[in-house]
């Protein structure tokens, strides 16, 4: 890598002062609540988060982990910044913008995201572009003007990316008929012929993309070269080619851009807790693979590539112990 929605697995409770005191215990001996912000139910963040919560509940003494379905990256950044969750999945490149108060976060309060910390980069998340057969004129992103386009849920990585891409193309939301949908809702729109194109991120080998392709209505189009170059120049996004074996219904690679997916925490999570969380995650990778094949991308070799925030000291200690200084 170059540069860089509510299902409970356990009862949740606010992480108050007494809970924080428990988290600070070096032995991690009393009950502590670890809330994990994911994204829409059924998505990759959600599935991986459920697996991770189960692992932590089983292997970290005293931990009661639970997942929360959310709107995605942007909402997760706010939840972390407000200490309403302890852990979150998010797009690294969007996280970097928040941390620096730049781009779509330029008008947010200064320093709002300075307390965010990284645990690991876990997998690449590329941008997809699918157009429907009833709109054969769509061959590039700029052919989407006036079309019905799914750009992801509001507050998600996909919608944030779409805003940045529109800025590059000189567009606003007046130029398209935006549909703020993702996964199952978008798949239904494709089946019902209610949409012309899909532009949002999902992991290599996405089951959502597969289901849209299975309708026989969709085709995958490479992202415009100038858009790829522009996005790669913004920070942690980078040009990315999805291998043909991970492109549903196709025998060729798909050219796009991607962001590193980051597992993050906030700075009030004590060092020993952060250390235990990241350590047990890597030690139980085979179990996480049974939940989602995307866990195969998670390696110690690339865990610190493209991090949007400073590494949490607890995670840093784990990597040092693993010989990854």
Same domain, 167 and 214: yes
Mean pLDDT of the chain: 89
Among 191, 236, 255, which residue's Cα sits nearest to residue 99? 236
E-strand ranges in the chain read 32-37, 63-68, 87-91, 116-132, 148-150, 177-179, 197-201, 218-220, 238-242, 254-266
Q: Does residue 266 lie within any of the structural domains? A: yes
Instruction: Please indicate, yes or no, whether residues 98 and 81 belong to a single structural domain of this protein.
Output: yes
Task: Give the rounded distance of the alpha carbon of 143 from its chain centre.
Answer: 27
Token couple for 279? 């350590």
Same domain flag for 187 and 284 = no
For residues 12 and 269, what is the distance between their CA atoms, to the nearest angstrom?
16
Both 144 and 237 in one domain: the answer is yes
Is residue 76 domain-shared with residue 198, that is, in the same domain?
A: no
Do 149 and 117 have their domain in common? no
Which of 236, 259, 282 terminates a domain? The answer is 259
Q: For 128-186, write each residue's pLDDT tens digit.
A: 999 999 999 999 999 999 999 999 988 888 999 999 999 999 999 999 999 999 888 99
Model-level pTM? Answer: 0.80
* 111 and 161 housed in the same domain: no
Whether the pLDDT of residue 35 is over 70: the answer is yes
Looking at the domain assignment, is residue 153 inside a domain?
A: yes
Contact 229, 256 (CB under 8 A): no
Residues 93 and 160 in one domain: no
Number of domains in the chain: 2
2 assigned to some structural domain: no
Do both 53 and 129 map to the same domain?
A: no
Answer whether residue 1 is part of any domain.
Answer: no
Domain span holding position 157? 125-259
CATH of the domain at 310: 3.40.190.10
Q: Which residues contact 298 (CB under 8 A, 6 or more apart)?
A: 120, 122, 123, 281, 282, 285, 288
Tokens of 262: 């980051």
Same domain, 26 and 132: no
Judge whether residue 37 has pLDDT over 60: yes
Is residue 280 situated within a structural domain? yes
Strand partners, 265: 87, 117
């Amino acid at each position: 890598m170059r540069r860089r929605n509510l299902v409970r697995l356990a009862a949740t409770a606010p992480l108050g002062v007494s809970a924080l005191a428990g988290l600070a215990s070096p032995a991690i001996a009393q009950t502590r609540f670890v809330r994990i912000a994911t994204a829409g139910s059924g998505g990759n963040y959600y599935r991986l988060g459920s697996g991770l919560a189960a692992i932590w509940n089983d292997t970290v003494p005293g931990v009661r982990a639970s997942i929360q379905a959310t709107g995605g990256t942007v909402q997760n950044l706010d939840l972390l910044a407000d200490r309403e969750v302890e852990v979150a999945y998010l797009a690294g490149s969007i996280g970097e913008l928040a941390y620096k108060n730049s781009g779509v976060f330029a008008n947010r309060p200064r320093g709002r995201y300075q307390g965010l910390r990284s645990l690991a980069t876990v997998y690449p998340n590329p941008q997809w572009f699918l157009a429907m057969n009833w709109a054969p004129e769509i061959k590039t992103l700029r052919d989407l003007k006036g079309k019905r386009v799914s750009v992801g849920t509001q507050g998600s990585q996909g919608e944030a990316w779409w805003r940045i891409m529109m800025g590059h193309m000189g567009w606003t939301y007046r130029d398209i008929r935006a549909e703020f949908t993702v996964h199952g809702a978008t798949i239904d729109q494709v089946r019902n012929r209610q949409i012309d194109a899909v532009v949002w991120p999902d992991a290599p080998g996405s089951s959502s993309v597969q289901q849209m392709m299975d309708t026989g209505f969709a085709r995958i189009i490479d992202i415009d070269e100038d858009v790829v170059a522009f996005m790669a120049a913004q920070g942690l996004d980078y040009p990315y080619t999805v291998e043909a074996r991970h492109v549903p219904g196709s025998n060729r690679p798909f050219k796009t851009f991607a962001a590193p997916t980051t597992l993050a925490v906030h700075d009030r999570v004590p060092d020993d807790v952060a250390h235990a969380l990241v350590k047990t995650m890597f030690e139980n990778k085979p179990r996480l693979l049974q939940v989602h094949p995307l866990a195969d991308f998670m390696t110690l070799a690339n865990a610190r590539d493209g991090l949007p925030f400073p590494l949490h000291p607890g995670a840093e200690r784990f990597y040092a112990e693993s010989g990854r200084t």
